A and B are shown apart, each in its own frame.
Chain A
Amino acid sequence: MTSIPYTPALAPPETYLNVSYRVRSWLLTADHKRIAILYMISITLFFFVGGAAAVLMRLELMTPQGDLVRAETYNKLFTIHGVMMVFFFLIPSIPAVLGNFLVPIMIGARDLAFPRLNLLSWYLYMIGGCFALGAMILGGVDTGWTFYTPYSSSFSNTNVALTIVAIFINGFSSILTGLNFIVTIHKMRAPGMYWSRLPLFIWSHYATSLIFVLATPVLAITLVLVAVERLLRVGIFDPALGGDPILFQHLFWFYSHPAVYIMILPAMGVVSEIVPCFAHKRIFGYGMIAFASLAIAVLGFLVWGHHMFVSGQSIYGGMIFSILSFLVSIPSAIKVFNWTATLYKGSVDLRTPMLYALGFIGLFTLGGLTGLIVATLAIDVHVHDTYFVVAHFHYIMVGGAVMAYLGGIHFWWPKITGRMYPEWWGRFSAFLIFVGFNLTFFPQFILGYLGMPRRYYAYAAEFQVLNVMSTAGASILGLGYLLPLCYLIWSLFYGKIAPINPWGAAGLEWQTSSPPPTDNFDQTPVVVDEAYAYDKIEVPSA
């Protein structure tokens, strides 16, 4: 980790990166920027573990017969893929990397309110990650990331308990990160940084943190109860022992549906920063977008039952959850319209971050609209637990969250590392990812409506053409993800030295040096204008 060399040339002599090169100075750091780097490295690791599982799954699904791996292995693969991607990549991705790095800088603070707690978050995350990897190495777990009872509590004889411990520990990491953000945003804003001047990135992280703090503990206690049931053989969720399996689903989705908003809200925040910067315009409908973030966070708590339309819950329950799910789509639609309107009469520069952001808007639109389809009761009866749902949530989580994460990484790369990434490669891989993604997941919408269920390692022959298309897309997508890994590492050594504000952006983070000093600002900034005062900045040359 000390191997990120940085030779200060034009930037101020001391930055958070070169303040010390010892391993200790990284592992015991309380600097939110260094912790963000630690997170960046570790979530990349877990992303590629989860990605490797996806590769094997897609290879298995090339043919209708189960011929590459055994059924048990396939079930373990999709469980690893889900657990790694959801709990160890998507949930911490933008908040713990970009959020950690940027929240204090964007509001003009020297650090988060509780720096050591922040470090503890990372350690908890790593311990949880090691448990999850351990469960995988010791034979895997085959319940799916949803841990539905009674399969998980009474029937599976894989490493369920160990995985539960992993997710439990990781949950506390999320809680502490959310708590830190809430307090920081409330109490650490620089003079003049009123709520009405907060960047939308901060608003979305505030909304995300509320979910972190209020939803994660419910998952934690639910998993504790599953573990108790497994170890003591008492019937909490297993009907054979007197328990209620539907109760588990309610508790699980009470966390796991808001968790979707943990993934997408920060992504919306990133896009809300990139779009005005590369359109060089004030964001259209600032108040509406900020309000929409909070509305999504609040409504997101009330829609969990839409995962259970065919589970046997009451008709009226289904109806209430359905109408609330439609309502939660409205704030998302408002955001999409406002981002699009921001381009109007702007000066649009299609650099890599902007390509990712525009890709996000398109794919998120599709993901959101298909979300309406699965929220419609009668249609969900047909498409529930089919590839239609798989495609829908990948459009949100991969087309949405991952695109925005990569866009954000490119956007703030100069600030984080002090180096520019290679622009041509950036645009090329953004294009590859967009094409590969659509080729992978669009056929799955059709597969789902045709009726191919999820989690099948062998399937009916008529589904093969679409599955082969999907696998072909996945290989393009895989290449698209490897490229940034390579050229971003390359840029650490050979990239151009980044100026303070390469994009002509308005945020506070672009006023400190690249990379910033340990205390972020040489002097405490006093904010005198809104976050998107692009009318006061000259348009950089294309």
Chain B
Amino acid sequence: MPDDAAVAGEVARGDDSALTPQQRRAQSRPASAHLVAPRHHRPHVKHQFDTLAQQHEADTLGMWAFLATEVLFFGGMILCYTVYRGVYFKEWHNGSRILDEFEFLGISAGAWNTAVLLTSSLTVALAVRAAQLGRREQLIGLLLATMALGAAFLLIKAMEYRNDYHEGLVPGWPFHPDPRLLEPGVRMRPFELFWSFYFVMTAVHALHMLIGLGLFTYLIVQAWRGKLTREHHMPVEIIGLYWHFVDLVWIFLFPLLYLVR
């Protein structure tokens, strides 16, 4: 292999074909590649990457691929929910009505939660912007605001759960709903099924929220230590992406569980 080619770091195809067949055979290894010297590493660039840009692209694509998995994960549940909504229309209708009737200040808890979560998406978007501009205090403030909104969501959810528990709506706990809540003709088994789906879907969503809060805590610590800079703001962007997805799931769950009757 010509030394100058290796030093130059880039070899055109023509250079290779210029070798005579004898020269090629003389090489103990195939001529399909040449080797170039490694680039110098820079801070924040992990050893497997060549450049920060490559690392950012990889991280972003990784998160998108993960979100694709998540879409299918929630999709399976939403499919089952929708199938049974068609089969047990009455029970689903009754369940949605009960959910929508739990209110604070005349607005249903689900609607409050939607508002809270959408606002948190805004604060995350602003936090990403702050990170890109390298504004550390602003970043920490916005992340804290996001966490507060996330916590508020979970708090409202917990109060809803508590209310459901008091009304005997937790499946297998045992399931003994307040008879006043039941519409005529509603059968207990399918009604319980609605609540099973409700609890599984919202609990899995809440689990994602909790993971998100953990990730934000990590970001705040990193920002506090000055590890997040204008150059290295990728973690904020990627975790922000995750948070937007968790919001988006709720945007599907809320109408499915509360509104569509």
A touches B (Cβ under 8 A): yes
Q: A179-B69, A242-B193 are in contact. Are A523 and B48 (CB under 8 A)?
A: no
Tell me which residues across on chain A come within 8 A of B13, comparing CB atoms: 528-529
Q: In the complex the two chains form, is B88's CB within 8 Å of A524's CB?
A: no
Q: Does B75 contact A (CB under 8 A)?
A: yes
Tell me which residues across on chain A come within 8 A of B72, comparing CB atoms: 214-215, 217-218
Q: How far is the CA of A531 from the CA of B31 in the complex (A)?
A: 10
Q: In the complex the two chains form, is A213's CB within 8 Å of B189's CB?
A: no
Q: Does A467 contact B (CB under 8 A)?
A: no
**Closest chain B residue to A242, Cβ basis:** B189
Q: How far is the CA of A13 from the CA of B46 in the complex (A)?
A: 25
Q: How far is the CA of A109 from the CA of B172 in the complex (A)?
A: 52
Q: How large is the interface on B (under 10, 10 to 19, 20 to 34, 35 or more residues)?
A: 35 or more
Question: How many interface contacts (CB-CB < 8 Å) are there between A and B?
Answer: 184
Q: How far is the CA of A241 from the CA of B196 in the complex (A)?
A: 13
Q: In the complex the two chains form, is A224's CB within 8 Å of B200's CB?
A: yes
Q: A110-B48, A215-B72, A536-B24 are in contact. Are A242 and B16 (CB under 8 A)?
A: no
Interface residues of B in 56-70 (CB under 8 A from A): 57-58, 61-62, 65-66, 68-70
Our pick among B32, B73, B196 for the contact of A528 (Cβ within 8 Å) is B32
Q: Does B77 contact A (CB under 8 A)?
A: yes
Q: Does A232 contact B (CB under 8 A)?
A: yes
Q: Mark B64-107, 1 if CB is under 8 A from A, else 0.
A: 01101110111111011001100110000000000000000000
Q: A234-B193, A241-B189 are in contact. Are A529 and B76 (CB under 8 A)?
A: no
Q: A500-B28, A523-B6, A533-B30 are in contact. Are A236 and B83 (CB under 8 A)?
A: no
Interface secondary structure of B, over-half rule: helix
Q: In the complex the two chains form, is B32's CB within 8 Å of A232's CB?
A: no
Q: In the complex the two chains form, is A231's CB within 8 Å of B73's CB?
A: no
Q: Does B137 contact A (CB under 8 A)?
A: no
**Closest chain B residue to A233, Cβ basis:** B172
Q: Does A108 contact B (CB under 8 A)?
A: yes
Q: Does B134 contact A (CB under 8 A)?
A: no
Q: Does B231 contact A (CB under 8 A)?
A: no
Our pick among A182, A234, A244 for the contact of B171 (Cβ within 8 Å) is A234
Q: How far is the CA of A500 from the CA of B76 in the complex (A)?
A: 48
Please, how many residues of chain A have a CB less than 8 angstroms from a CB on the other chain?
70
Tell me which residues across on chain A come within 8 A of B183, comparing CB atoms: none
Our pick among B50, B73, B80 for the contact of A217 (Cβ within 8 Å) is B73
Q: In the complex the two chains form, is A214's CB within 8 Å of B69's CB?
A: yes
Tell me which residues across on chain A come within 8 A of B54, comparing CB atoms: 187-188
Q: How far is the CA of A217 from the CA of B74 in the complex (A)?
A: 8
Q: In the complex the two chains form, is B75's CB within 8 Å of A519's CB?
A: no
Q: How far is the CA of A324 from the CA of B46 in the complex (A)?
A: 44
Q: In the complex the two chains form, is B29's CB within 8 Å of A247's CB?
A: no
Our pick among A111, A191, A218, A235 for the contact of B189 (Cβ within 8 Å) is A235
Q: Does B38 contact A (CB under 8 A)?
A: yes
Instruction: Tell which of A112-120, A132-140, A490-498 binds the partner.
Output: A112-120
Q: A111-B47, A188-B48, A235-B193 are in contact. Are A525 and B34 (CB under 8 A)?
A: yes
Q: Does A358 contact B (CB under 8 A)?
A: no
Q: In the complex the two chains form, is B29's CB within 8 Å of A510's CB?
A: yes
Q: In the complex the two chains form, is A213's CB within 8 Å of B69's CB?
A: yes
Q: How far is the CA of A514 from the CA of B118 in the complex (A)?
A: 55
Q: Does A348 contact B (CB under 8 A)?
A: no
Interface residues of A in 280-326 (CB under 8 A from B): none
Q: How far is the CA of A83 from the CA of B9 in the complex (A)?
A: 49
Cβ distance B91 to chain A, nearest Cβ, rounded Å: 9
Our pick among A233, A234, A511 for the contact of B29 (Cβ within 8 Å) is A511
Tell me which residues across on chain B come within 8 A of A526, comparing CB atoms: 9-11, 33-36
Q: A111-B48, A215-B72 are in contact. Are A527 and B196 (CB under 8 A)?
A: no
Q: Does A251 contact B (CB under 8 A)?
A: yes
Our pick among A110, A188, A525 for the contact of B36 (Cβ within 8 Å) is A525
Q: How far is the CA of A533 from the CA of B88 in the complex (A)?
A: 62
Q: In the complex the two chains form, is B193's CB within 8 Å of A222's CB?
A: no
Q: How far is the CA of A488 from the CA of B187 in the complex (A)?
A: 64
Q: In the complex the two chains form, is B32's CB within 8 Å of A182's CB?
A: no
Q: In the complex the two chains form, is B36's CB within 8 Å of A236's CB?
A: no
Q: Does A397 contact B (CB under 8 A)?
A: no
Q: How far is the CA of A214 from the CA of B76 in the complex (A)?
A: 11
Tell me which residues across on chain A come within 8 A of B87, comparing CB atoms: 244
Q: Does A423 contact B (CB under 8 A)?
A: no
The listed residue with most B CB atoms (<10 A of its CB), out of A110, A500, A530, is A110
**Closest chain A residue to B73, Cβ basis:** A217
Tell me which residues across on chain B come within 8 A of A214, comparing CB atoms: 68-69, 72
Q: Which 3 A-B pairs rank lowest in CB-CB distance, beginning with the nearest?
A: A232-B172, A217-B73, A111-B48
Residue positions of B touching A, CB distance < 8 A: 6, 9-13, 15-16, 24-25, 28-39, 46-50, 54, 57-58, 61-62, 65-66, 68-70, 72-77, 79-80, 83-84, 87-88, 171-172, 187, 189-190, 192-193, 196, 200
**Between-chain CB contacts (< 8 Å), 17 pairs:** A115-B48, A183-B62, A184-B58, A187-B58, A192-B33, A225-B77, A225-B200, A231-B172, A241-B193, A242-B190, A243-B193, A508-B32, A511-B33, A524-B36, A529-B13, A533-B30, A536-B31
